Structure 1
Amino acid sequence: MVVKEEGPSGFQQLLGYRLTEWTEGQAVLELDMDHKHTNRAGVLHGGVLATLIDTACGFAATFCPLPGRVRRVVTLSLTTNFTGQARHGTLRAVAKKTGGGSRIVFCQADVVDEHGKLIASGQGSFRYRSGSEHPEGVAL
């Protein structure tokens, strides 16, 4: 799934993750691991996991069903917990909005490997950008 009106961001193109599910309060990203995603030990770099958590949470907070309109957030804080390792396969980051108010929202995400094993989790707080606090978002 691509946000048709926007296309992929430069960072999304660099890492190669894709948005596969997106509904109100939820989002799923997937990433096919490649050598470019690994650290010196040959395992998935923690920065990639933090990116997947941050990005999936951001999408979970900003669903907008109206064509030509978007919602955006900025990350205020992000906590990550690394619980496993991955060397290959498809990773899946599943995020959901857990609460918040009119300007600040809270989300959490889990990242699992291709066997469903939890390899990272995280939570963050995000602030809606001006106009994005409304479900109808802003014009592109």
Structure 2
Amino acid sequence: MPDSTKPPQDVDPLRTHGGFADLVGYTLETWEPDLAEVTLTVDARHLNRSGVMHGGMLTTLVDTACGYCGCHAPKGETPKRAFTLSLTTNFVGAAQHGQRLVARARRTGGGKSVFFADCEVRDQDGRMIGTGQGTFKYITLRK
């Protein structure tokens, strides 16, 4: 039986798509030092039983953007990796089917082993959908 904790051998663990990103449908649009933007167009699969975007989707966008913003590396260098230690999500508005969302996160501090990030999620009209803050720990991938 394959080990589900390791990526398949044909999957590059450093790429920005694959696995959960493909399942959910978000895209990393901007990735710079201390900044990341993740986008998502709300689809029927993202809705809850009330017909608005499920809160887990907002949390996913916040977590993903915050995680990326602290892990950028210059071109040619291996990006850093991190896992979430703590995440707070604030639900401000409801996203509807068809809306394009942008989760913009900035690294706000930290050091060699831990970093902090803040995120805002807005729709295509600039309307706030939610915010979040996270604490992340840098890790080293093992081969």
TM over 0.5: yes
Structure 1 residue ranges without an equivalent (≥5): 131-137
* 2:113 aligned to which of 100, 103, 107: 103
TM normalised by structure 1 equals 0.87
Whole-Å separation in 1 of the counterparts to 2:111 and 2:79: 19
Q: Which amino acid in the other structure matches residue 130 of structure 2?
A: A
Q: CA RMSD in A?
A: 2.1
Partner of 2:132: 122
Q: CA deviation at 1:7?
A: 4.9
Q: Deviations over 1:45-95 (max 9, x none)?
A: 000000000000010000011326121001000000000001131000000
Whole-Å separation in 2 of the counterparts to 1:70 and 1:99: 18
Aligned length: 131
Structure 2 residue ranges without an equivalent (≥5): 1-11
Q: Which runs of 4+ in 1 moved over 3 A?
A: none
Q: CA deviation at 1:6?
A: 1.9
TM normalised by structure 2 equals 0.85
Whole-Å separation in 2 of the counterparts to 1:81 and 1:72: 25
Partner of 1:135: none
The answer on whether the counterparts of 1:70 and 1:139 sit within 8 Å (CA) in structure 2 is no
